[in-house]
Amino acid sequence: MFEFVVEDEVRLKPLEILHTEQLYTLTELNRSYLKQWLPWVDGTKSADDIKSFIQMTRNQFAANNGLQAGIWYQGKIAGVIGFHGINWANKTTSIGYWLGERYQGKGLMTKSCKAFIEYAFAELKLNRVEIRCAEKNFKSRSIPERLGFAQEGILREAEWLYDRYVDHVVYGLLARKWDKREV
C-alpha cells in the first residue's frame, strides 16, 4: 500500500480497519451535509457499515480493480477519494470523492483529484478518467472543470437520491490532454 504526500498538510493513504471509528465519526458529523448528494449516507448506520466499506476497498485494491484512499488533512481524516473500478480492457476509470463540510474550500479535493489523475495516467497507464457529478452539485462540478476535464454530456435521471432522481453531468479527461496543471 502507499501513502502519497500531496503537500505538507495533505496526505492520501489507503483506508485501514483501524480508521473505522474516525471515518464513521466524520460521516456522522456530516450526515445531513453529505446526504444532499450522496445516496449511501442513510445506509451507513454504524461503525460496522464503515468497517465493511473499508474491507471492500481493500479487496478491490487486492483484485487490482480500483483504489480508495482517505484524505488526511493536518493528521485528521477529512474525506475519501477513489477509483470506482478500473476497466483494464479500455484503460478507463472514474473518480468519486467526498469531504467533510469543514474541510471544504481549502483546495484539498482539487489537489487530491490531481494526484489521482496523475497516478491513473503515469503509473497505471490508463487512457481516460471520468467524473460524474449531480447537475446541481456545483461544488463537486468545479473540481473537474478546474482540472481541465471536458463536459461530455448530461445523463438524465441517472441517480435516485432518497426522494428524487438527479441528472449527472459527465466529465472526461484523456491522457493525451492532461497537462499536469498547477492547482
d(CA 132, CA 167): 10
Which sequence spans correspond to the domains of the chain?
4-127
Strand order in the sheet with 150-160: 4-7, 10-14, 67-73, 76-87, 92-99, 128-134, 165-174, 150-160
Q: Say what the pTM is.
A: 0.93
Q: What angle do CA 175, 118, 15 make, to 5 degrees?
A: 130
Q: pLDDT of 7-48, one tens digit each?
A: 889 999 999 999 999 999 999 999 999 999 999 999 999 999
Closest to 73 in 3D by CA, of 19, 29, 4, 9: 9
Query: Which of 2-11, 86-95, 127-136, 157-166 is least confident?
Result: 2-11
State residue 6's pLDDT score: 87
d(CA 51, CA 147): 32
Instruction: Kindly state the percentage of the chain with pLDDT values over 90.
Output: 92
State residue 154's pLDDT score: 98
d(CA 57, CA 66): 8
Would you say the C-alpha torsion 31, 35, 41, 42 has a positive or negative sign?
positive
pLDDT band at 4 (very low <50, low <70, confident <90, very high): confident
In terms of CATH architecture, what is 4-127?
Answer: 3-Layer(aba) Sandwich (3.40)
